[in-house]
Chains A and B, each alone.
Chain A
Amino acid sequence: KAGVTQTPRYLIKTRGQQVTLSCSPISGHRSVSWYQQTPGQGLQFLFEYFSETQRNKGNFPGRFSGRQFSNSRSEMNVSTLELGDSALYLCASSLSGPNTGELFFGEGSRLTVL
């Protein structure tokens, strides 16, 4: 079956702009988690959605937001982009939630902020 699909794969934005990233989970998976990956900080948890509800949230400013649709597809949005937001944004899906540790990751969306 198809894996986790993230779009777009690469994008370049300038400071102050906003960006929306999309994630389509594996069919049947209801949980979607988002992570930010940078060389300096490694993988940092952003938030997790299950059945259209945000269940967990990491320690990121309010500029980072997300949502999940009834078909389990998820989007995350970053407003008022800063240079430090340049990162690989990874989406991971799972059947019931990240607590099992069995996360299936997409290839990521690489965001560059100029």
Chain B
Amino acid sequence: AQSVTQLGSHVSVSEGALVLLRCNYSSSVPPYLFWYVQYPNQGLQLLLKYTSAATLVKGINGFEAEFKKSETSFHLTKPSAHMSDAAEYFCAVIKSGGSYIPTFGRGTSLIVHP
């Protein structure tokens, strides 16, 4: 069963516009949630993580994500897109009581237009 779903394989925004990348998880128990970014020809880099402390999590490069239990969501946002934000973004989940191995979503490619 899919543990994490990223809506939209591609998201296109203009430079300076709001970035919103969607992630929904399936778990009866609040899991640990993460966002990773992958730039071309590179490995993944951790952007931010939620581990049941504050529901609004701030990460690197101006990104933040809000954990909403009622919506089982952990969407990633950035107020103003920059050309350098163009990359692949992955949402990942670790389900409590499981193997504690991160399960990754299929990824969302962010395209930033000048």
Contacts and interface: CB of A to CB of B under 8 A. Distances in A.
A99 B32 CA distance: 9
B70 interface: no
A58 B63 CA distance: 31
A103 B105 contact: no
Given A42-B107, A43-B90, A105 B102 contact: no
Contacts of B101: 33, 45, 48, 56, 58, 98-99
A105 B49 CA distance: 16
B90 A106 contact: no
B6 to A, nearest CB: 9
A81 interface: no
Interface residues of A, number: 22
Interface in A62-101: 90, 92, 97-99, 101
B52 interface: no
A35 B75 CA distance: 24
Contact of A101 (B41, B43, B49, B105): B49
Nearest to A44: B104
B106 interface: yes
9 A-B pairs with least C-beta separation: A105-B43, A99-B100, A43-B104, A42-B106, A105-B44, A101-B34, A107-B43, A106-B43, A45-B101
Interface of B: 32, 34, 36, 41-46, 49, 51, 90, 92, 94, 99-107
Interface of A: 4, 33, 35, 42-43, 45, 48, 56, 58, 90, 92, 97-99, 101-108
29 contacts: A4-B43, A33-B101, A35-B104, A42-B105, A42-B106, A43-B44, A45-B101, A45-B102, A45-B103, A56-B99, A58-B101, A90-B44, A92-B43, A98-B94, A98-B100, A98-B101, A99-B101, A101-B34, A101-B51, A101-B92, A101-B102, A102-B46, A103-B44, A104-B46, A105-B43, A106-B43, A107-B41, A107-B43, A108-B43
